[in-house]
Amino acid sequence: MSDRYASFVRTGAGRALVKRLGLPDPPRLRRHTPGDPLVPGPVLLGSSTGGRLAEPVGKIFSAAGVELSDPAAASRFAALAYDATGITDSTQLRQLYDFFHPQARAVLPSGRVIVLGTPPQECPTPREATAQRALEGLVRSIGKEFGLGVTAQLVYVTKNADAATRVSLESTLRFLLSGRSAYVSGQVIRVGTGDASAPADWDRPLDGQVVLVTGAARGIGAALARVLARDGAQVVALDIPAAGDALAAVANDIGGTAVQLDLTAPDAPARLADHLGSRHGRVDVVVHNAGITRDKTLGRMDADRWDQVIDVNLSSQERINDVLLERKLIPAGGRIVSVSSIAGIAGNRGQTNYSTSKAGVIGLVDSLAPALHDRGISVNAVAPGFIETRLTARIPLVVREAGRRMNSLAQGGLPVDVAETIGWLAWPASGAVSGNVVRVCGQSLLGA
């Protein structure tokens, strides 16, 4: 699971070789440790003429202890944030160039670029919708261009904002500025309306929340359980009985509880609902992380491989959601977060079953998020790219190296990167972020 190449290029000899041969140069990414400031330096906040978000964002930054500065006082910035909501015509896109061009070399390593816009479908004129849609191209290119672990995102904020919009804009900005979003780049995130409440302490954003994590015995699920517990959640960790020992170790480690259950068993949804109902009376956050692969090209795939993958990765999620929702165990302010994959966006050779299941997860988000909006429950997915786990360690070396390097950050992500992203979507503060699929892939070239 170790990335020997990344370790090598950080040595003196490695650095020299990388420079001489023009090889990929994976930067060391800034990751979150509790108590860290959101950003390790000043932030430059700019606005298009008539932008509606610079003022509220400035207030959020100040409340979060972010130091705002300008080019007269600082030469380098930990983040550039730009309110582009005032751009209503393509001729005004020049304002983006005027802001970003002078700062293109002024962003510190692992810095952040955040552009704020209006969802094109909410724009009153085709011209404005066109200009707002254009922002995506800028952000995705900056993500590919700036290097040094700098990430770039576009945040579309609804014009019909309510109190929840403001709270979730804050949770989103906090996530994006911090080391929690280390491996998220080139993403478009939509902040709408919903049920959101700010935490008493932003360092414990999940305080008191009951969270179910499926597939928690190892890999991404184990990292998830740890991150969510660190952030204050009471974690119910679920995995198959055969993984009982590893599951118990994770649950003990974080003071959570372990549930041994095969999600595909016919009585699994009822047994899980019974357990959550009798132990906790509710489940605030459901994270559908358990997943399997059974790879074969379609012509060589037996029906069992197809059935197992669709059942574990997709149908079991639907059955569990149905029972938990029917029994009203997910309260207002509840969160459902599913794990998809970039294979569900781009497709993958040898993975027709897996890609179908993971694209289905995106369909689940698209259909369930609007249906549950009025119940105050958000539904989102993350789509990981190449993450360093046992699953990816088994990939043949050449394919593995390609997967690792073919992204803007020139390295694989860590399970903790997926966990932090799911954590943000699970926060009570993030309820106005719903119906999103956020890729945690270092802006992978696959599925672009």
Residues designated catalytic: 354
**Residue in 259, 207, 199 with CA at minimum distance from that of residue 228:** 207
In the complex, minimum distance from the CB of residue 188 to ligand NAD, in angstroms, rounded to a whole number? 19
Closer residue to ligand NAD, CB minimum distance, 9 or 320: 320
Q: How far apart are CB 183 and ligand NAD at their closest, in Å? A: 11
Q: Which residues pair with 339 in a beta bridge?
A: 382
Comparison of 219 and 269: residue with beta carbon closer to ligand NAD: 219
Strands 187-191 and 151-157: parallel
Minimum Å gap between C-beta 144 and ligand NAD is: 21
Tell the smallest beta-carbon distance from residue 439 to ligand NAD (Å).
10
Q: β-strand 107-117 against 234-239: which pairing, if any?
A: unpaired
The smaller minimum CB distance to ligand NAD, of residues 163 and 242, is found at: 242
C-alpha 364: how far from chain center: 17
Whether the CB-CB separation of 113 and 84 falls below 8 Å is answered with no
Cα dihedral value 203, 156, 100, 440, nearest 10: 60
Between 300 and 390, name the residue whose CB sits nearer to ligand NAD: 390
Tell me how far apart the alpha carbons of residues 378 and 194 are, in angstroms, rounded to a whole number: 8
Beta-ladder partners of 238: 214, 259
Contacts of 13 (CB under 8 A, 6+ apart): none
| C-alpha span between 97 and 93 (Å, rounded) | 7
Q: Which is nearer to ligand NAD, 110 or 317 (CB)?
A: 317
Residues whose CB is less than 8 angstroms from the CB of residue 80 and which lie 6 or more positions away in sequence, other chains included:
43, 44, 46, 99, 100, 103, 106, 107, 111, 112, 113, 114
Q: Which residues bind ligand NAD (CB under 6 A)?
A: 214-215, 217-221, 239-240, 243, 262-264, 289-292, 312, 339, 341, 384, 386-387, 389-392
Q: Which residue's CB is nearer to ligand NAD, number 220 or number 438?
A: 220
Residue 165 C-beta: closest distance to ligand NAD, Å:
30
Q: Are the beta carbons of 441 and 183 closer than 8 angstroms?
A: yes
For residue 204, give every residue at least 6 positions away whose Cβ sits within 8 Å of its Cβ, in sequence order, or none: 231, 232
CA distances from 210 to 167, 276, 417 (A): 21, 9, 21
CB of 60 to ligand NAD, least distance (A): 31
Report CA 63 to chain centroid distance, whole Å. 24
Comparison of 131 and 225: residue with beta carbon closer to ligand NAD: 225
Pick 53 or 342: Cβ nearer ligand NAD: 342
Residue that the structure tokens 């932090």 belong to: 420
What is the smallest separation between the CB atom of 407 and ligand NAD, expressed in angstroms?
12
Q: How far is CA 114 from CA 13, 150, 154, 168, 387, in A?
A: 35, 11, 6, 15, 24
Q: What's the min distance (Å) between Cβ of 231 and ligand NAD?
A: 19
Residues in the chain, total: 448
